[in-house]
Each structure stands twice: as structure tokens, then as C-alpha cells.
Structure 1
């Protein structure tokens, strides 16, 4: 193996350029002959010094920040320096071009030091890049055309640029759908990485010209991505970010004119406002969604998750009952989901278990112990059977909270349920669960001196994970 040096790198480049070798071929030879790390090999294949890479990177990634010292640190890792963020690898692949993907910029040593979610994200980004390369047209020599023909061909070229092939669109939609479907089953941090990885690819495509059907498909997928990012931000306790993502989802949905999609985005907005204690806003957003699609596929979620729970916080019993009844009526009008438990922000109809769980939360705010028990027990049969931790926890908290009220007071059962909540959510405590746990502790304050209540309070304090709210 030759000794690495600037001269050796240039000699190899010159040899391969003389036979019209591609940049990836040059990279492979540099790595084989000089044992270069992948990020260094790509830079060397283009004959860029680190300062040149910084300049090219900042041009290719507007708004990014990068210095020569950071480039050096990222190239040295994992033996020294600093781990390159996933965003940097994505931006670096874009900067190098020539079909480079994030997977081309890491080797076995890098992957061994990455978290499983990071390795998965690198694979996702690289598959998206491969799909883009597959869609690139093959350009060959062109004949000299008559000026009029040339003008027509130029127009046809512009039309052909407005194209994203079906496999690419299907891949993006499926990737976002998988994130939505895993919200209650996979750690939030992992899903957040996956969503952030998809986002730059999808939004870069949104800025390109497309035929109307393609643009509509991209805007729909982008709506779902922004909406699920709002949910993930909420779960992490980042309320301001959640609100911003949800507003973006609405803007994207409104651009499509799809009333059901707009209603779905309004549900995401209403959810964030509800957990931020902005009940009037949560109600207004849910009402707007229902006004656009009163009996649509997302009307159940808007009625029980948005409208009923917000009205309950304002003490409007009649309004809650009408909202809950409307939710059940709409369920009967639509085909049942193909699963026992729909995702919390599913693209389809709300399932009966989630409808019952949200109804229980609404009736809790009204102090209706009988309805809480009725709906919560119905929901828990599904939640417990499927082991969906956050929904199991929140429904238990609803029952535990109503058990503190006069006429149904059972402190022993209530503290047992909250203890179960702490155990169920030991691996990951989402912000909505922490907020509802805090509400239970506040309601139990009159009995704070009792051993059972004190033990629960100490257990919650020991397990609690701090969240920031931006």
C-alpha cells in the first residue's frame, strides 16, 4: 500500500482522470491504495482542501455553519475529533455530488460508534439519494436544432423537469407513514431522528417544479411529516416547536385544497394547544377542522380528542356529550380500521379504543366518575392487550384522578394505578404523561401526608425526566 501524501493523492487522481474514471471510482482507488477514510477520500477525489470544502458546503447548504476546524474534527472521528451530525453527513453528500450518499461517507469504524437510530437514519437518507439518482435522465449528445424546434424542445425539457417518479413518491409517503404508525411503539428520540432525516429531502423536492398531481402528492406527504413532527415535539415537551410544526402542516394541507387533509392538520394543531393549556384555541382549531369536513375520516379525532376535551375543561357538559355522540356516529359511517388500535395521528379513521379513551378524559374534567370508568375500562382492554405504554398510562391516570373525587374516593386503588403508570413508562416518560401525572399529584395534595400518597409522590419525583419547552 502506498504512503499517503498530497502528491500521492494527486498522482492517483491524474491517472484515473486520464481514463475518464468517475469521481466514485477515484474515491474507491484512494481508499484502496492509500487507506483513506471515506470523508477524506471524497474531498481528495475532488482535490479540495478543507477551506475549499467549507466554501462549497456553505454554497450547497444555505444557512448552514461550518469551519475548517469542524471539518478536521469530523474527518478524524471516531479515533479523534467529534462525531459528525446526521445533518452534516446529509449536507456533505449534497456538496460532493456525483451520486454521493451519507452511507458513502461512513465506514465500519464510524458505524460501530453510532447509535442504532443513527445507523438506520444513514440508511434511510442513502436510499432516498439512490432513488433520486435512479430518476435522473440519461443525457447524451444532442443535435443542432432549428430555432423553432429548439424553443419547443426547451419547453418540453422544462416540463420533464417537473417530475418525481412514482417509486420516489411512494418511498417518501411510506417512510412518513411508518413514523406515524410507530409513534406509540418506538422511542420518540429515534422517530425524531428519522423524521429530521427525511425532512430536508422532502422539502428540497417541494421547492422544485412539478406537475400538479406530483406536487399534490408531495404536499400531502409533507403535511403528514410536519404533523407527526408536531406530535413528536409535544411528546418531548418542546411545545413551541410542536406548535410551529403543526402550523406548517396546516399551511401545507391548505395548499392542496384537500378538506380531509386540512382537518387532519387542524387536529395536530388542536392537540398541541390542548396540552399547552390553551383550551379556547384547541376548541377553535378543532371546530374549524370539523367545519371543513364534519363527517370526514378525521371528524372522530376532532370531535373527541379536540372538541370534547377542550369543552370539558370549560365545564360545558352538553357540548361534551354532543361532541362524543358525534364521534361515535361518524365511526359508524366509516369502514372500521384494519387494526384494533389506530395510531394516535393515523391517516385514517380513529379506532373505538382511542375514541373511548379520549371520551374518558373529557368526562374526567366534568367529574363524571361513572362515564370515566365506563369509557376508560373499555379503552384499557385494548391498550393493555397491545402494550401501548403511553395510552395505557394516561387512561390509568384518568381513572386514578376520578377516584380522588367525593363519592368515588378510593386512595388505595388510585395510588396503585399511578404506581403502575410509573412502572409502565419507566423506559420513556412522554410530556403528556408527565403533565397528567402532575395533575393527579395536585389533585391528591389534600392527602399528601398519607403514606401511600407520599410514596407515590417520591416515586414520581425519582423517575421524572426534565423536559424543556423551548
Structure 2
């Protein structure tokens, strides 16, 4: 709370008045709120469930991101405990004619596991596993299935196809990724699965923003919102629109899109698995806001969000749980450092961001391009900056 307040240049009294302006019902007087605020900032007590969403709204985020809680699923254990089968038994069952509820539940758990491994597993390995399981799932379509089973299998195939498409795009396989995205959308339409359809449109928006097609981002996001309504994917669609408006230079529309996404996210239940790629976890809202405020040159707010992204994406033992988010946060901090004249720190952070094993090349290159432009323009004679720019060019050649 203190970091967010200070990033805006607010005193504690300013923060209390801002909070009062966001309240839609009567709350205690200013002096009482100020006393509570001081206790909240000092960590003496935690705000209750009434004040948490109000504080989050004051700072333009959501309560579950501002006041996170622990939660992690063990999908491998679920497979054994939930359906009484280990992986070998499960694969053997898939080869028989039996398509029981336990078989479908095991498939759901496996699909969830694959989606939860997206943030950190190597894209090559995840692609191999994803294709292998997609073949097994699709083979079930040749069996005698009830209507509901047929729809469930189509939905699972659509989900795994979405994952494969994301991994292909991460590796720079753009043509394959586009074809896989279209296949996933078709499967979602056939199954009547609004989530799969919505994420297929979100992928189209993601592809478009990394290629500079900002109007295409807005069109894809609008199409996705039309089919997904107020699901989790709608939050990410709103975020893609916000990022596109930020790159167009329209701050008002950017803020509107962020507010729309925040309002939807605030109404959704806390996700069971925050690592699942096709579930928007609350901490990701800070990731969206970081990107937008960096683009508008709001260095203090961008840095606060970047620090929070790194914190929430790192386990207590230092393990990076979401290395791709951390890389973009490091680029953000590098951009801020470059703007403030610290070229050495800017280059160091930029190198750190592109050195990780798990990368989404198109996204990383898009964000790194902002740091590249600043370094090339403001530090043309700095040797370390020039060396880093050469490293970026080499990385870009892999995505060509």
C-alpha cells in the first residue's frame, strides 16, 4: 500500500480522500479512516473484506491481486486421487473401447496439468507432450460417445490445441500457430464452448499486438468479448485492448479498458490453479497495468507494478514460477532506468530479461523494442548499449 501511494505522490491523507471518492456507500469519517490507513500500511492489521476491494479500486487494481492468498494445485496427485489411475493405467484405458466418466475426468486433469506447466516448461517439450495428448483425445472421437461426452472431448481437444498454438507462437512458428488457433476456435464452436472460443480470439489479439496491428487487436478482443461474456478470458481480452490503446496513444480508452477488465475480475471467484495458462489470476492485472503505464512514461507506477510482478511470480525459495512475466517486468525496470539516465542498470536488466530459458519470443521482442529505441536514441556511443542492441538483433533473427 505504501509503495502504491508513494508512486502516485500521495500523502496518507490524499490516499484516504481518494478511497472516500470510490466508496458507493457511507463509510467512517476521514480521521477514523486515516487511523485505519496508518495501521494497514504499518502491517498491524489487514483490511477486512469490505475495505479490500475499495483499496484495490483506489489504486486501479483488484483485491485478489493487492491482497493475494496462497493456492497451488498438484495435478499429478489429483490424477491418482481423483480417478484412482496413474498415467500408465490411464493411457491403457484410452486404448480400450471404454470411455467412462473416470477416463474423461483423467483427461481433464491431464489437460489442466499441461496448461499449468506452460509458464515454465520448455516450449519444445510442452509441444511434444501437447501433440501426443491431442492425438489421444482426438482418437476418442471415433468411439461411441454420448452427446455430452462428444462435447466434452471436443472441448478438451480445443483447450489442448490452444495450448499448442501458444507454444508454437512462443517458438516463432507463426504459420503453425495461426493454423492451430483456427483449429481450436473451430473445435470450440463445434463444442459450444465459450471459453475455448474466447481464448481463440484472445490468441488472435495477442498475435496482432506483437505484429503492430493494434486495430486488429481491438477487433479480435471485441469478437472474443461477444462470445465469452463475463468469463475469465474477458479480463484478458480487455487487457489486450488496453495495451493496444496504449500503443495507439489513447490514454482515456486505455484506462476504460483496464477499468472494464478490473471490474469483471473483481466479480470472479479466486482461481483454483493460478498457474493455469487459460485462467486469469488476479496478479496478472498488475502485469497488464505495468505494460500500459510504461508506455505512457509513468515511470514510478510502472516500476511499482514491475516490482510486484516479479514478487508475485517468484516462490519463497527464489524459484521463478512465471519467468516470462518476470522478463517483461525486468525490461520495464530497464526502460525506467534508461529514462532516468542509468544506462548500466538498463543494459543489465535488459540482458537479464533475454537470458532466460523460457521465452515467448514475439512478446519479449515487442517489449524489448521499447528499451532498444531508448538506448539507440539516447546512448548511441555507449559500448555496452551497442553490444546489447546487437544481442537483441540476434534474438530477433530467431523470430524472423
Q: Matches of 2:332 and 2:198 in 1, distance apart?
A: 27
Q: Matches of 2:323 and 2:232 in 1, distance apart?
A: 25
Secondary structure of residue in 1 paired with 2:145 = coil
**Partner residue in 2 for 1:227:** 162
Scaled by the length of structure 2, the TM-score of the pair is 0.70
Task: Tell me the CA shift for residue 395 of structure 1.
Answer: 1.4
Is 2:97 aligned against 1:135?
yes
**Partner residue in 2 for 1:276:** 211
Query: CA 1:255 to 1:314, structure 2 compared with 1: closer, same or farther past 3 Å?
Result: same
Q: Matches of 1:210 and 1:265 in 2, distance apart?
A: 26
Do the aligned partners of 1:311 and 1:319 also contact (CA within 8 Å) in 2? yes
**Partner residue in 1 for 2:375:** 444
Do the aligned partners of 1:300 and 1:327 also contact (CA within 8 Å) in 2? yes
Q: Which runs of 4+ in 1 moved over 6 A?
A: none
Q: Deviations over 1:139-182 (max 9, x none)?
A: xxxxxxxxxxxxxxxxxxxxxxxxx3223222322222111100
Of 275, 281, 287, the match for 1:351: 281
Q: Matches of 1:460 and 1:263 in 2, distance apart?
A: 33
Q: Matches of 1:371 and 1:259 in 2, distance apart?
A: 35
Q: Matches of 2:337 and 2:376 in 1, distance apart?
A: 14
Q: Matches of 1:452 and 1:125 in 2, distance apart?
A: 50
Compare CA radii of gyration and give the structure with the larger one.
Answer: 1
Gaps of 5+ in 2: 1-85
Task: Tell me the CA shift for residue 131 of structure 1.
Answer: 1.1
Q: Matches of 2:124 and 2:170 in 1, distance apart?
A: 10
**Partner residue in 2 for 1:416:** 348
Q: Matches of 2:175 and 2:370 in 1, distance apart?
A: 21
Q: Deviations over 1:436-466 (max 9, x none)?
A: 334422332121321331343355567x485
Q: State the aligned residue count.
A: 309
Scaled by the length of structure 1, the TM-score of the pair is 0.60
Highest RCO, 1 vs 2 (Cα 8 Å, sep ≥ 6) = 2
**Partner residue in 2 for 1:190:** 125
Q: Deviations over 1:168-206 (max 9, x none)?
A: 222322222111100111111110100111122222323
- CA RMSD across the alignment: 2.6
Is 2:275 aligned against 1:342?
yes
Query: CA 1:466 to 1:132, structure 2 compared with 1: closer, same or farther past 3 Å?
Result: same
Query: CA 1:461 to 1:264, structure 2 compared with 1: closer, same or farther past 3 Å?
Result: closer
Task: Tell me the CA shift for residue 409 of structure 1.
Answer: 4.3
**Residues 82-97 of structure 1: pairs in structure 2 closer than 5 A:** none
**Partner residue in 2 for 1:369:** 299
Q: Matches of 2:250 and 2:101 in 1, distance apart?
A: 48
Q: Matches of 1:458 and 1:222 in 2, distance apart?
A: 41
**Partner residue in 1 for 2:173:** 238
Task: Tell me the CA shift for residue 303 of structure 1.
Answer: 1.2
Is 2:386 aligned against 1:454?
yes
